[in-house]
Structure 1
Amino acid sequence: MVVVVVFVSLVVIVGLVARVSWWIWWKPKMMEKEMRRQGINGTKYRTFMGDLKDEGEAYKEAWSKPMDLNHNIVPRVLPHAHLMLQTYGKTSFKWMGTTPAVTIWEPELLREVLMNKCGHFVQPQVNPLIKLLANGINSLEGEQWAQRRKMIKPAFHIDKLKEMVPTFITSCSELIERWKKLLTDETSCELDVWPEFQNLTIDAISRILFGNSFEEGKRIFELQKEQIVLAIDAASSIYVPGFRFLPTTKNKRRMFIDNEIKRILQDIINNKLESMKMGGNANSDILSLMLQYGNINIAEKEKNTNNSKITIDNVIEECKGFYFAGQDTTSTLLTWTLILLSMHPTWQQKAREEVLRTCGKNTPNFESINHLKIVNMILHEVLRLYPPVITQIRHTEKKTKLGDITLPAGVHVLIPTLQVHHDQEFWGEDAEEFNPERFSEGVSKASKGQNAFLPFGWGPRMCLGQAFAMIETKLGLAMVLQHFSFELSPSYAHAPSIVATLQPQLGAHLILHQL
């Protein structure tokens, strides 16, 4: 009997060793060999961690000091990716732990990946600790993704967005009045506009998403902000299955934040459902719209199929994702726009003249901002040089042919948005310069290559909130231009870096002048 137990134990141990060896060594080496055979160059595989340590050290060095006042930001923002480009060329691979990540650059191949007509390019599996930020539509595929998108999309219809404009104007008017008070006894003052725009968009997105429950929404943001820091910490290391269940200090904090956010959202949703049941306005905010269309879909599912239903938990995850993405995108875009218009005062004056010509001193509205062509050109150029999301990732579910190469199953495909946006091949010799004029004939004619402008993604998974973010930003920028001129403060330090989006690491210190 003892011999049998020992034998079985040895078999189990050998099996486990074999599986671990396959995962951390043999499989990566086979994939590396296959890619090198096709002429794709990249870093040499190193057991388990891959290039994570090198990337971390590169970030630490690059972000240790500010850069010169120019728009050649790739070496600072993505130092390891910049080195990869110089060493191995545009199509290359690195190692994200045990997974090879192939960078794809050519516009026609980017289109193929993002359109995903072959159905083999899917969202990568995310570390469960990072998923705590939001586990909504972006984590879904196939029918589940289509069903969830169907639920969310009506909330972003242009007619619904028009109804949200007064709410954002309320938040922006409060910002303008607060800035005016700072200048009551002064002709100018210094202000870090980065936290100011964060507070603006927190207030606006809380009102627009939750309606009368916006104060609770602000509490969610503070918790999400801390969760982002913890998620970045988790992303800098390899996740070992089951690690999230260990009662470490960080894990306990992660779970507390997640449970607290869910508790607040559950209370808001329960109150909203009760209000809707009593005849409250079901179209007053995005949460109401999601619940309205979600309930319709749930009813349809109960009648027709046994497929997974849209649940309150699903709505909670979509709220978390929308709150995080919606707030961050608008605040970073407004911040970088003011920084760039401070660096390029001629364009600031052109934008102001257009706003005053179109709106006068009247509060801008949905109709008037649609006539701001110069403002639109400026915002597109800011999105080109400083896109909120700098890299997009897909994963090969099966062995997949892409152009002249064949990617093994289990490979990450990196779409280097920031680097493509700064590529002279697509944007000309002035690619690193701020030149809104390049968008004078629209996005389609701005670059030499199709699909070279990707700030909100491309294809069926293009960001649903794109129009929402642009409307908010145009309104906010127009109102600031009506009341203030601005320039860089002597204390401003140019230091773009990545947190979850592209942000000013050392703030955005400007000198405000009231007009």
Structure 2
Amino acid sequence: MEAHFWKQGIRGPPYRFFIGNVRELASMMLRASSQPMPFLSHNILPRVLSFYHHWNKIYGTSSFFFFFFFLLSVHFYESHIGQVNLEIPGFCVVVFKPFGGTFLVWFGPTVRVTVSDPELIREIFSSKSESYEKNEAPPIVKQLEGDGLLSLKGQKWAYHRKIISPAFHMENLKVCIYIYKSNLTNHSLLIPVMERSVVEMLEKWKLKEGEVEIEVVEWFQNLTEDVITRAAFGSSYEDGKAIFKLQAQQMLLAADAFHKAFIPGYRRNINCWKLDKEIKKSVGKVIEKRRKLSSENNNYCSSELELGGKDLVGLMMKASKSKSWDDDDGMMMMSVDEMVEECKSFFFAGKHTTSNLLTWTTILLAMHPHWQVRARDELFSLCPSRDLPPSKDDLPNLKTLSMIVNESLRLYPPTIATIRRAKTDVELGNYQIPRGTELLIPILAVHHDQSLWGTDANEFNPGRFSEGVARAAKHPVAFIPFGLSVRTCIGQNLAVLQTKLALAIILQRFSFRLSPSYKHAPTVLMLLYPQYGAPIIFRRLSSTTDDDDDDDDNQRS
């Protein structure tokens, strides 16, 4: 395998029997995570993807070497033989690529080709996507994620996505997060479920005046848990509380599984199986509760949410009662077990993707208060009252906040890398990729590539998105926080909408800065987390305009 890729100019660290490059990988990871980063640095690639940062400098830039080797070889053969024979053994040709690096890494006995050229990434996910598939996650990780859209393949994946997609359409999400209620002046208005959850969270902080330090990671996780259970089931946080608690335990075990072999009967794995059984039982109870309510009233709608059956469980329940024909698999319908697996996926991905995005964006705004001020000024120009959150029509007009969220997704994407496997022998650019080869796409590296984003690629600059995502970088596939093409994360609209709404409500009421105890140390626990938490100091904004201006001046200074 090494010889096959060497002839194409793709090199990498040497393979060691059975363990591959695992020893070097572990050593680099431990060394990189041993110390926090400089306070305001966003150059997180050397810390989070240390192996890529290190080996890309050695092997990923080999295009230059092979390009010049190619020119010298052509000159030699033309001078001495009169022609160029590209099939001569050892003659290596690589077409020079302006972006990214391509090299080999051995994860144990499995070789992975690291691909960070956006043009090649587009081939993998779009133009030749039928030639690639998601690789199998370790059994324990698959238990945690659920055997749903995150891991399904082929026609079954397409069938499930077709059923579930409407729950995440933007218009349905706007319905899901808003409820009808009357305010104290008896005027009817839409008050978001998210707004109520955020206000309840802020009230628990008991900040009437002065300042308070809050560790936001756990608070934001609880917040997103509440919204997810309400949006998915029309029920309170208590109905999903047991599920999230069990998943949190399972996630710690799954993260450990990334670094250790799966051994049937090993205590860690036995515990995971037990937790998985309890999670399935808990999710099944929630679905059964919803079934009973639905059977009592065919036009069932939550007392809180006017969903009309377009929430996640409602759509799956409808699909479980109808059949769909597939040319390959015959009649298809969604079983109760499949509903449970999809709910597990939604609970896990929905919670962690949204809470992480909210956490990192809050950290970034605390680090860069002038952007906090700009976002608040724009917010107050659209929503002058502090007591009324932005409406569903206001949210798309919060351009500055959208730019900030996009920049947060660029610098600190929830998923730092993804893997695809070649289903057949396939040509990728000018490379010949054998069937079964795994391709590692380092999303974080693409997002921090100076050849794509400019010399300020490692700086927080939301202004780069002022003309939209498509024009923010030198290549349209340089920004892929939620994946690309047909397998784009189905919940991205929900994650971004929740984040923007929560931040808008917080900005209406508070200014905030990092606590002196904050240590900047992004780390990977399946997703990207602040290793030592995120302590933030919040200060309630004054209700007078003059005091607001003083607060803004303090933020700018």
* Partner residue in 2 for 1:447: 473
Which of 361, 373, 376 aligns to 2:402? It is 376
1:230 aligns with 2:241: no
Matches within 5 A, 1:33-432: 33-69=3-39, 70-89=41-60, 90-115=101-126, 117=128, 119-133=130-144, 134-165=146-177, 166-179=192-205, 181=206, 183-184=207-208, 186-212=209-235, 214-239=237-262, 243-244=263-264, 246=265, 248-279=266-297, 280-281=300-301, 283=308, 286-296=311-321, 298-301=322-325, 306-360=330-384, 361=386, 362-432=388-458
SS in 1 for 2:397: coil
SS in 2 for 1:472: helix
Q: 1:336 to 1:374 in 2, by over 3 A?
A: same
Quote the Cα distance in structure 1 between the aligned partners of 2:117 and 2:13. Answer: 21
* Partner residue in 1 for 2:73: none
Quote the Cα distance in structure 1 between the aligned partners of 2:27 and 2:328. Answer: 54
Quote the Cα distance in structure 1 between the aligned partners of 2:327 and 2:308. Answer: 25
Deviation string 1:423-478 (CA, Å, 9 cap, x unpaired) is 11000111111111110000000001120000111110001111111110110000
Quote the Cα distance in structure 2 between the aligned partners of 1:149 and 1:302. Answer: 14
In 1, are the aligned partners of 2:320 and 2:336 still within 8 Å (CA)? no
Q: Which segments of 5 or more consecutive residues in structure 2 lack a partner in the other structure?
A: 61-100, 178-191, 302-306, 542-557
Query: TM-score under structure 2 normalisation?
Result: 0.82
In 2, are the aligned partners of 1:49 and 1:237 still within 8 Å (CA)? no
Query: TM-score under structure 1 normalisation?
Result: 0.89
The residue type paired with residue 275 of structure 2 is: I
In 2, are the aligned partners of 1:74 and 1:418 still within 8 Å (CA)? yes
SS in 2 for 1:137: coil
Q: 1:495 to 1:372 in 2, by over 3 A?
A: same
SS in 1 for 2:512: strand
SS in 1 for 2:125: helix
In 1, are the aligned partners of 2:320 and 2:333 still within 8 Å (CA)? no
Q: Which segments of 5 or more consecutive residues in structure 1 lack a partner in the other structure?
A: 1-30
Alpha-carbon RMSD across the aligned residues, in angstroms, is 1.9
The residue type paired with residue 38 of structure 1 is: Q
Quote the Cα distance in structure 2 between the aligned partners of 1:56 and 1:302. Answer: 45
SS in 2 for 1:370: helix
Quote the Cα distance in structure 2 between the aligned partners of 1:498 and 1:366. Answer: 34
**Alignment size in residue pairs:** 476
* Partner residue in 2 for 1:490: 516
Quote the Cα distance in structure 2 between the aligned partners of 1:405 and 1:96. Answer: 21
Quote the Cα distance in structure 2 between the aligned partners of 1:466 and 1:479. Answer: 20
Q: 1:299 to 1:446 in 2, by over 3 A?
A: same
Q: Which runs of 4+ in 1 moved over 4 A?
A: 301-305
Structure (1/2) with the larger helix percentage: 1
Quote the Cα distance in structure 2 between the aligned partners of 1:64 and 1:305. Answer: 51
Quote the Cα distance in structure 1 between the aligned partners of 2:22 and 2:163. Answer: 38
Residue 308 of structure 1, CA deviation: 4.6
The residue type paired with residue 122 of structure 2 is: R
The residue type paired with residue 2 of structure 2 is: E
Q: Which moved more, 1:206-215 or 1:385-394?
A: 206-215
SS in 1 for 2:421: strand
Deviation string 1:23-66 (CA, Å, 9 cap, x unpaired) is xxxxxxxx222111211011212222222232222222222221
* Partner residue in 1 for 2:90: none
Quote the Cα distance in structure 1 between the aligned partners of 2:242 and 2:30. Answer: 31
Q: Which moved more, 1:44-53 or 1:60-69?
A: 44-53
SS in 2 for 1:72: coil
Residue 235 of structure 1, CA deviation: 1.7
